[in-house]
Homo-oligomer: A and B are copies of this chain.
Amino acid sequence: MKKYKVAIVGATGAVGREMLRCIFQFNFPFESLKLLASARSAGKVIEFEGQEFVVEELTENSFEGVDVAFWSAGGSISEKYMPYAVKAGCINIDNTSHFRMDPEVPLVVPEVNAEALKDHKGIIANPNCTTIIMASALNRLNEYFDIERIVVSTYQAVSGAGVAGMEELYRQSQEVLDGKEPVAKTLPCASDKKHYPIAFNCIPQVDKFDLDNAFTKEEMKMVNETKKIFNKDIKVNATCVRVPVLRGHSESVYIETKKPLDMDKVFELLSDSHGVDLYDDIENQIYPMATLFIGDELVHVGRVRKDLDNDHGLSMWIVSDQLMKGAAYNSVDIGLKMIEMGLL
């Protein structure tokens, strides 16, 4: 079996660390592994599975001889350096939002639209975490019942805002428990003007606002990326909310389908969906929760129930470690799927 020269860009970040772990855990066949980050992190040693990796500075020349690179260092880094990687012949799987809506760039959840990989021109985009998780859970239901629209409210963990988000929640929680005022520096959005405490709070803002339509960019990612991944005009109404959870996004999802729902078939499809764990037994209080599934790559689905008034309406509760299926694992899985399809 061919082995690949692999790079991770943004290797010291919350997602980058998980990318390294996924490459090992899911046996991505690498010959060499180059960890790239900013000059600030260069020289840092990362140990994993008994091996030591020295972080190198990302430059225009980092991709000579690299077969495939996994990117998660921010949209501006992808924008600036990825053209050099493409020119060097490297295939790039990008976890940032920069290229997602580019019509030349496939936006892929492998179990949903792997076929789109065939049209790649050196860049494949990994969708937003909230979108991946929802698309993965809904894929087989859409194939069978034809989903027309979605109303979703999210419960997003602070690790979606990186290591800084996690540190902030830990620190603020202790401040509140000690009777102090919690100090906010990062959330809801590091680059926005105001910051609010997330400890013991819910913040109805993830990413910045689009002032034209009053939705946030995070919400518009769910709207636009869902349409692109399913390659159809599914209507999406999203409300994205940050909650004081360290890791694992939850989503309250309501869908309407063109075909009337048959609940036996719904459960059969969810039981037989690649990457989906149907975790639903209310009689025994079994439903997914964020703290149950840290570090696993599945999308867990529970609280599945038909709308009381509409034979075409279905509610469910979806939980997944957004650093895994929502980011690192989906990226690595795209790479594995490309090998399987002979595209890498």
Contacts and interface: CB of A to CB of B under 8 A. Distances in A.
Interface stretch (A2-10, A126-134, A308-316): A308-316
B223 A308 contact: yes
A201 interface: yes
Given A201-B245, A302-B204, A283 B237 contact: no
A194 B291 contact: no
B241 A244 contact: no
Nearest to A251: B153
Interface string A295-325: 0000000111111111001010100000000
Given A177-B173, A302-B204, A155 B214 contact: no
A170 interface: yes
A1 interface: no
B303 A239 contact: yes
A26 to B, nearest CB: 27
Contacts of A308: 213, 215, 223, 235, 237
How many A residues touch the partner, as a band?
35 or more
A174 interface: yes
B241 A194 contact: no
Interface in A151-178: 151, 153, 155, 169-170, 173-174, 177
B315 A243 contact: no
B245 A200 contact: yes
B237 A252 contact: no
Contacts of A313: 237
B289 A203 contact: yes
Contacts of A245: 200-202, 244
A79 interface: no
Contact of A309 (B149, B196, B200, B202): B149
Nearest first, the 4 closest Cβ-Cβ pairs linking A and B are A214-B305, A153-B153, A153-B252, A235-B309
27 contacts: A170-B177, A173-B173, A174-B177, A193-B284, A194-B285, A196-B289, A201-B290, A201-B291, A202-B243, A202-B290, A203-B289, A204-B287, A204-B288, A204-B289, A205-B287, A209-B282, A209-B285, A213-B306, A214-B304, A214-B306, A215-B305, A235-B309, A235-B310, A237-B309, A239-B252, A239-B315, A241-B317
